[in-house]
Amino acid sequence: MRHTFTKVIYVASIASALILGACSSTNKREAASLVKIDEQKINVESVWSTSVGKSETFVMRPVVAGDYIYTSAGNGRVSKIDILTGKTVWEVKAPSDLSSGPGSDGTVVVVGTAKGVVYAYDADGQKIWEEKLGSEVLTEPLVMDGFAIIRTIDNRFVALDTKTGKRRWSYARPQTALALRTSFAMVPVAADAFVTGFSGGKIGVIGATTGNVLWETSLAFPKGFSEIERMTDVSARPTLLGRRLCAVAFQGRIGCGDLNSGTFTWGKDFSSFTGTAQSQDFVFAADEKSQVVAYRADDGVEVWRNDTMTWRDLGEPLAVGRVVVMGDKQGYLHFLEQTSGKVIARVRVDSSAVDAAPIVANGLLIVQTRGGSLSAYRPN
């Protein structure tokens, strides 16, 4: 759901190609052909694969809690999958279609809809409550510390009690003129706080039990004259490595800084709605054209750039071991060497887009495609 934007609270169905075209009408969005891998330095073994339902037009990011994976599908399907075997533990059908991935702490599973209804299920798949919020839910709920934190398309955060569904607090932010109509990820940074991006190029930390903003800072600043040119949103998932926080803004900047203070130590002009990945030494991101860049995490010096996958619509990256992994719109997973940026392995999950980053759990690399394949691999 990363290809549209919202004007105030009214949704306009316009593709990102039109947004990009406003900046460069001569560019052709033809996906680059797959580059031959001279030497496949790692072997990627397929362990299991199962179908969990199509995402339709939404990004459905699976979530791991304990030894299980929880998934959702556009048609309302919610599933609990055993990580090691890929077998379905239970599967239920929500009363209406879903527009967000699930949130779970292992005891409750929470999903949202385009009509602003939130459903909660217990660990056995029994529905325990539902709550109407009145505004579209595109971001997967964050379940922590007894709260299910819901973010709606109109910039509201609502904390619901995981046992009863009752509202415990709410926080509303002012609207910008334009904002991406997409999931604005929420990432836990402590037992009772999470970091998230905002429209207007800002990022901040919010207390999970109170809804208070602990700190807020600007990663990027709007530029240009038209509303589209000035749209800069930190919608992609921020990443953490110790105290180091890295994030990227659409039509803005990429940067890293200190989580505790909210101070960015460096920033570079960049534009992405798919996010960053970190290793000990580097931060990685794919820009709007699907060119992958590695920066030194300490000072932002560019280390390498890979333009062999231009316009393949690369998804959210994951840094693991000595590789960076990201999917594309044709269902391929690409494994790039962290030190050089060279593609050293590739597998195809199915023929549909891989939007969300793969998940590492129990020694497996797990990925969900828009077409509904949930697959596990073991890189060697």
- Residue 22 banded pLDDT, cuts 50, 70, 90: very low
3-class secondary structure, 17: helix
pLDDT given for residue 2 in this prediction: 44
Domain boundaries, position 101: 1-30+60-181
Whether residue 69 has pLDDT greater than 60: yes
Looking at the predicted structure, is the pLDDT value of residue 137 above 80?
A: yes
Reported pTM: 0.91
Count CB neighbours of 156 within 10 A. 16
The secondary structure element, H or E, covering residue 82 is: strand 77-82
Please indicate, yes or no, if residue 95 is contained in any of the structural domains: yes
Cβ atoms of 142 and 124 within 8 Å: the answer is: no
Q: Is 23 helix (H, G, I), strand (E, B) or coil?
A: helix
Q: Is 276 helix (H, G, I), strand (E, B) or coil?
A: strand
Characterize 313-333 residue by residue with b for buried, 16 or more Cβ atoms within 10 angstroms of its Cβ, and e for exposed: bbbbbbbbeebbbbbbbbbbb
CA torsion angle 5 6 7 11 (round to 10): 110
CATH code where residue 147 lies: 2.130.10.10
* Sequence letter at residue 31: A
Q: Rounded to the nearest 5 degrees, what angle is found at the Cα of 278, between the Cα atoms of 258 and 17?
A: 105
In a domain, 338, yes or no: no
Using pLDDT thresholds of 50, 70 and 90, give the confidence band for residue 181: confident
Mean pLDDT of 139-152: 96
Task: Tell the residue number behind the tokens 């996906």, with chain if given.
Answer: 31
pLDDT for residue 272: 96
Q: Specify if 40 maps to a domain.
A: no
Token pair, residue 99, equals 């527009």
Give the pLDDT of residue 13. Answer: 32
Could you tell me if residue 169 is inside a domain?
Answer: yes
pLDDT over 80 at 6, yes or no: no
Q: What is the pLDDT of residues 204-246, one digit of tens each?
A: 999 999 999 999 999 999 888 888 888 999 999 999 999 999 9
Sheet with 63-65: list strands edge to edge.
63-65, 68-72, 77-82, 88-93
Q: Look-up: residue for tokens 């793969």?
A: 358
Average pLDDT over residues 25-42: 81
Is residue 3 one of the residues assigned to a domain?
yes
Nearest Cα to Cα of residue 81 among 55, 126, 48? 48
**Confidence check: pLDDT of 203 > 70:** yes
Q: Which pLDDT does position 15 carry in this prediction?
A: 34
Report the candidate in 147, 164, 261, 140 with the shortest Cα–Cα distance to residue 208: 147
The number of distinct structural domains making up the chain is: 1
pLDDT of residue 9: 34
User: How confident is residue 20, by pLDDT bands cut at 50, 70 and 90?
Assistant: very low
CB contact at 8 A, 147 and 168:
yes
Query: 317 pLDDT exceeds 70?
Result: yes
23 pLDDT more than 50: no
pLDDT tops 50 at residue 378: yes
Answer yes or no: is 67 within a domain.
yes
Q: Look at residue 120 and tell me if it is in a domain.
A: yes
Tell me, yes or no, whether 237 lies in a domain: no
Q: Categorize the per-residue pLDDT at 4 as very low, low, confident or very high, splitting at 50, 70 and 90.
A: low
pLDDT number for residue 41? 85
- φ/ψ of residue 255, rounded to 5: -165, 165
Identify the DSSP state of 161.
E
What mean pLDDT do residues 41-45 have?
A: 92
Query: Does 321 have pLDDT greater than 60?
Result: yes
Percent of the chain past pLDDT 70, that is, above it, reads 93
